Homo-oligomer: A and B are copies of this chain.
Amino acid sequence: MPSEPIRYVTKVDLTKPGDQQPQVHNRWHPDVPFSETIKPGETVKIECLDWTGNQIKNNDTADDILNVDLTRIHYLSGPFNIEGAEPGDALVVEIKDVQPLERQPWGYCGIFHKKNGGGFLDKFYPEAAKAIFDLEGIHATSRHIPHVKFTGLIHPGIMGTAPSAEVLQEWNSRESGLIKEIQHAHDMAVANAPLETNAHAGSADAELAAKIAKEGARTIPGRPENGGNCDIKNLSRGSKCYFPVYVPGAKFSVGDLHFSQGDGEISFCGAIEMPGVITIQTSIIKGGIEKLSLKSPIFIPGDVQNHYGPSRYLTFEGFSVDEEGKQQFLCATTAYRQACIRAIEYLRKFGYNDYQIYLLLSSAPIEGHVAGIVDVPNACTTIGIPMDIFDFDIGPEGGLEKQDMGNCALVEGAKHELIYEYK
Is residue A406 contacting chain B, with contact meaning CB distance below 8 A? no
B319 touches A224 (CB 8 A): yes
Min C-beta distance of A223 to chain B, whole Å: 6
A279 touches B233 (CB 8 A): no
Given contacts A264-B372, A396-B242, contact A315 B300 (CB under 8 A): yes
Contact bitstring A281-320, B, C-beta under 8 A = 1, else 0: 1000100100111011111111111111111111111110
Interface residues on A, range: 35 or more
A342 touches B295 (CB 8 A): yes
Q: Which of B293, B313, B314, B328 is in CB contact (< 8 Å) with A349?
A: B293
Given contacts A279-B137, A306-B304, A373-B266, contact A222 B299 (CB under 8 A): no
Question: Copies of this chain, how many?
Answer: 4
Residues of B within 8 A of A103 (CB): 5
| Interface pick from A21-29, A76-84, A245-253, A329-337 | A329-337
Is residue A414 contacting chain B, with contact meaning CB distance below 8 A? no
Given contacts A265-B372, A342-B296, contact A174 B325 (CB under 8 A): yes
Min C-beta distance of A294 to chain B, whole Å: 8
Given contacts A311-B301, A400-B291, contact A222 B368 (CB under 8 A): no
Is residue A138 contacting chain B, with contact meaning CB distance below 8 A? yes
- A291 to B395 Cα, complex, angstroms: 12
- A6 to B95 Cα, complex, angstroms: 25
**Most B CB within 10 A of own CB, among A1, A313, A393:** A1
B120 touches A373 (CB 8 A): yes
**Most B CB within 10 A of own CB, among A119, A238, A338, A395:** A238
Given contacts A137-B97, A338-B224, contact A238 B321 (CB under 8 A): no
Within 8 A of B (CB), among A100-142: 102-106, 119-120, 132, 134, 136-139
Residue in B closest to A231 when the chains form the complex, CB atoms: B372
Seed contacts A170-B325, A234-B369, A309-B309; 17 additional CB < 8 Å A-B pairs: A3-B106, A92-B396, A174-B327, A189-B376, A192-B376, A220-B375, A230-B380, A232-B369, A232-B382, A285-B396, A293-B342, A300-B396, A303-B309, A305-B310, A308-B311, A308-B312, A336-B373
Q: Give me the interface of A with B, judged by CB distance under 8 Å.
A: 1-6, 43, 58-59, 90, 92, 95-97, 102-106, 119-120, 132, 134, 136-139, 151, 170, 174-175, 177-178, 182, 188-192, 220-224, 227, 229-234, 237-238, 242, 263-268, 270, 279, 281, 285, 288, 291-293, 295-319, 321, 325-333, 336, 338, 342, 345-346, 348-349, 367-382, 384, 388, 393, 395-397, 400
